[in-house]
Amino acid sequence: MRVFQIFFLVLVSFTANAQIVNIPDANFKSALLNHDPVIDSNGDGEIQLSEAISTIEINVNEKGISSMEGVQSFINLGLLSCSNNELTSIDVSQNSSLTYFICSGNLLTTIDVTQNLNLLSFLAANNNLTQIDVTQNLLLGSFGCSGNNLTSINVTQNPNLTSFDCGANLLTTIDVRQNPNLIAFLFYSNQLVNIDLSQNSEIFYMNARDNALTSIDITQNPSLEIFTIYGNQLTSIDVSENPILSNFDCSENFITALDVSQNFELRTLMCNNNQIFTIDITSNANLELLECQSNNLHNLAINNGNNSNMFQMQAANNPNLLCIQVDDEVFANNQICNPPNTHGWCKDEVAAYSQVCILGLDDSFIEEVVLFPNPSSDMLEISGVEVIQSVHFYTVSGTLVQQCYASVCDVSALSNGIYLVQIISETGVSTKRFIKK
């Protein structure tokens, strides 16, 4: 009897060790047989159940796999990475020990991780997902689902979330008020019109580009250092409560005024294609890159004491900008504009670099003031003002070169070029651009 019991135990043990995991996909099986670290420990060209049970890591990215059937036997798997394959589905319901799961770049339309309660990191970007449920993954710290077809996503049950990328979906709302530990938040290329960030004081990096935001409040995000809100519908933005902001891109909006005087750590500022009237970066001594082309600039002061380290300054397509105040006009004039190159200083020909720019165009006082003819070679008539007290002619760098006290001024003595004409009347002051030919 005892001999029979011993024989039975040996038979059971041998059967368990010899049981072969069924892996129908040849590419998946080949990837497992050639895996590093080794999974096929006995080198027999098959995956035994015992070998599957002892495996804690599978990395089979870019192997042309269309089915992961058999992965259910790897019950102690902690890391599974199967990105950039041809998967349309994957069953990880039996992999309860899974903590890191990466399945980006496949053809997945659905995925169920509700049984993976130990998940810490889950990346499912660039698939065809229309929905995804992470409400059972309470430990989740990193979650990426960008590049799908999601219309909604619920992360209110993920209080440990520190990194969340849901960009390039079809989202109209996102609630992150229950994610106080969020550090990186990317929701670019969606359809959001508003977002509440009042509970996310730890956010360090945020990408909100290409949405439909008309406003955004980041005054409760003092840790914000990298912020992109390119391509929205903002008319204003307040960055005064973001003291360590270093990289800021608010291009392609409708912003009319921008104050960065409290952002002393700012290194890159991109605000192209807005309607900004004045930019003053004199308080931003660390700035290395400024892009402010295609605005409504009348005034640009970049004399921050750091021009020699500013490898890029793009201010072209601002026809009303006549003077750019710099640290050293000789240095500025020696900078090369090379549009295809990311380095260089570019401006319109009408704009001049100067260490003293005292005037900018200002039509807000008397819109009906007209200079005629303009250009002119001899006489210049000023209309639209009843009583003129004085007229001052300045170079674009701010040097007073002529004065006049009537509505018709003789400008024949002026050298050919562009001037700023300041008209002072009983009711106010207006500054106009004049070309002497």
Strands (E), 77-168: 79-81, 100-102, 121-123, 142-144, 163-165
The answer as to whether 408 is a domain residue is yes
pLDDT (0 to 100) of residue 416: 92
**Domain span at residue 383?**
370-436
Nearest in space to 228 (alpha carbons), one of 219, 220, 240, 239? 239
The answer as to whether 418 is a domain residue is yes
pLDDT (0 to 100) of residue 14: 42
The answer as to whether 323 is a domain residue is no
Domain with residue 394: its CATH number is: 2.60.40
Q: Tell me if residue 6 falls in helix, strand or coil.
A: helix
The answer as to whether 375 is a domain residue is yes
The answer as to whether 178 is a domain residue is no
Tokens (6 digits) for 25:
């996909």
DSSP 20: B
pLDDT (0 to 100) of residue 420: 86
pLDDT (0 to 100) of residue 364: 44
Q: Do 218 and 198 form a contact (C-beta atoms < 8 A)?
A: no
Q: Tell me if residue 185 falls in helix, strand or coil.
A: strand
pLDDT (0 to 100) of residue 428: 76
Tokens (6 digits) for 368:
């009906």
Backbone angles phi, psi at 324, to 5 degrees: -115, 115
Residues 368-399 have pLDDT tens digits of 789 999 999 999 999 988 888 889 888 876 67
The pTM is what?
A: 0.84
Q: Tell me if residue 9 falls in helix, strand or coil.
A: helix
The answer as to whether 400 is a domain residue is yes
pLDDT (0 to 100) of residue 387: 87
The answer as to whether 185 is a domain residue is no
How far apart are alpha carbons 169 and 123 in whole angstroms?
15
Kindly give the parts of the chain with pLDDT less than 50. Answer: 1-17, 363-366
The answer as to whether 424 is a domain residue is yes
Number of domains in the chain: 1
